Amino acid sequence: MHAISNLEHLPKRDLYAALQREAAALLGGERDLIANAANFAALVWQQVPVLNWCGFYLLKPDGDLLVGPFQGKPACVRIANGRGVCGTAAVTRRTQRVQDVNDFPGHIACDAASRSEIVVPLQRGDGTLLGVWDVDSPVPARFDAEDEAGMEALCRVFMASID
C-alpha cells in the first residue's frame, strides 16, 4: 500500500515536484498501462486542487480516443480524431491549455461545469501516440504555464512507468 502525502500546503512549483516523486514511487515496479493510469489519475485527483475531472483518453486503431481510467463524473466515451481539446492535442501532439472552454471552437462539453482545461499528448519512446491526459476545472483560467509544465513533467513520469 502506498501512503499519499498531504501536499495541499505547498506552492504550485513544489506541489508538482512532490507529485513527480509521489507518482514515481506509486507507479514504480508496475508496467501495466491500466493499473498505472488508474493510480495516476487518483493521485492527481487527490492532490491537485480545484479539478472536476482528470483522466486518460487512449488512442484506438481507428484514430478515435476512447476514455480510459479517470476520476470525476462519467465522461464522453469516444472522441473523434481532431475533435475538441483532446482531439486537437492528439493531432497536433502539443499540450493544449484552454482558459475558457466556451471560447474553444468545437469544444466537447462532457461536463457543463468545466470552464478550463489542459490536455497533454502522451507519446511513447518511439514517437507513437498512446493518447492524451485530460484535466478539467470548473474555474475559468485555472491553469497557467506552471500547471502546464507540471502536468507535462508528471506525464513523463507516467510514460516512463509503462514504456
CA nearest to 96, candidates 53, 29, 26, 151: 151
DSSP secondary structure of 132-146: EEEEEESSTT---HH
Mean pLDDT, range 136-159, rounded to an integer: 97
Domain residue ranges in the chain: 12-162
pTM above 0.85, yes or no: yes
Residue 140 has pLDDT above 80, yes or no: yes
State pLDDT tens for residues 42-82: 999 999 999 999 999 999 999 999 999 999 999 999 999 89
SS3 98: strand
In the CATH hierarchy, which top-level class contains the domain 12-162?
alpha beta
Output the pLDDT for position 2.
59
* Mean per-residue pLDDT over the chain, rounded: 93
Question: What tens digit of pLDDT does each residue of 8-31 get?
Answer: 778 899 999 999 999 999 999 999
Predicted confidence (pLDDT) at residue 1 exceeds the cutoff of 60: no
Instruction: Give Cα 117 to chain centroid, integer Å.
Output: 10
